[in-house]
Amino acid sequence: PTAHATALTWLPPTTTPQPLAGYRVYRLSSSSETFSLLATVTDPAFTDSTVLAGESYSYAVTAVDILGNESRFSSPVSATIPTP
Rounded Cα gap, residues 42 and 29, in angstroms: 23
pLDDT tens for the chain, residues 1 to 84: 567 999 999 999 888 889 999 999 999 866 667 899 999 999 999 999 999 988 889 999 999 999 999 999 999 999 999 887
Please give the Cα distance from 65 to 7 (Å, whole number).
23
How many residues would you count in the chain? Answer: 84
Sheet strands side by side (includes 20-29): 36-41, 20-29, 56-65, 77-80
What pLDDT sits at residue 22? Answer: 97
Compute how many other C-beta atoms are within 10 angstroms of the C-beta atom of residue 33: 6
